[in-house]
């Protein structure tokens, strides 16, 4: 199934240097889908994701993947600081500590990954969540939901 995808540009990104696209950091937004888009477009927010996924699987593209979205904050992964520069930010609308990801959200994320996986040379080692790159500062995704998503990615693309 092809989930609908549309542009909802956020001004919160950097054009230079180009994004490295080494992998993905997954987030949850706490807010609903429409509220997240409005917040990411607000001049006052100063945060953004590359993509946000609704409970029904629809995807909003907020920042082109060649640009650096401001989603990770102070972060480190794979021995590197500043994850915004090399991990794309994909967010799920909602709060995974309160409600699990929907099947449509998981399938939509897999569909989004599939369009990039081989082309960008990704591996499971370069998939993570906000909690892991900013420990003690961030708590998304809920551990059980991260494990569920990671298992789905491994099943689809291999470990």
Structure confidence by residue, pLDDT tens digits, 12-42: 999 999 999 999 999 999 999 999 999 999 9
Residue carrying the six token digits 């990770």: 72
Average pLDDT, the chain: 97
| Joined tokens for residue 18 | 């180009």
Strand partners, 13: 69
Answer whether residue 77 shows pLDDT above 70.
yes
Identify whether the C-beta of residue 64 lies closer than 8 Å to the C-beta of residue 7: no
- What CA–CA distances, in Å, run from 51 to 1, 8, 78, 145? 18, 9, 22, 18
- What is the model's pLDDT at position 159? 67
Determine how β-strand 87-92 pairs with β-strand 23-28.
parallel
CB atoms closer than 10 angstroms to residue 74:
11
Element (H, E) at 43: none
- Class of 5-157 in CATH: alpha beta
């Amino acid at each position: 199934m092809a989930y609908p995808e549309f542009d909802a540009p956020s001004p919160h990104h950097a054009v230079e240097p180009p994004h490295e696209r080494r992998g993905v950091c997954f987030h949850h937004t706490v807010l609903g889908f429409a509220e997240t888009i409005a917040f990411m477009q607000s001049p006052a927010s100063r945060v953004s994701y590359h993509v946000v996924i609704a409970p029904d699987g629809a995807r909003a593209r907020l920042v082109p993947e060649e640009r650096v979205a401001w989603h990770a904050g102070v972060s480190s992964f794979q021995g590197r600081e500043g994850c915004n520069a090399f991990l794309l930010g994909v967010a799920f609308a909602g709060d995974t500590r309160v409600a699990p990801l929907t099947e449509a959200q998981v399938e939509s994320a897999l569909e989004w990954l599939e369009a990039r996986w081989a082309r960008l040379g990704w591996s499971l080692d370069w998939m993570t969540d906000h909690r892991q790159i900013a420990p003690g500062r961030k708590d998304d995704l809920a551990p059980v939901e991260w494990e569920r998503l990671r298992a789905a990615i491994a099943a689809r693309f291999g470990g």
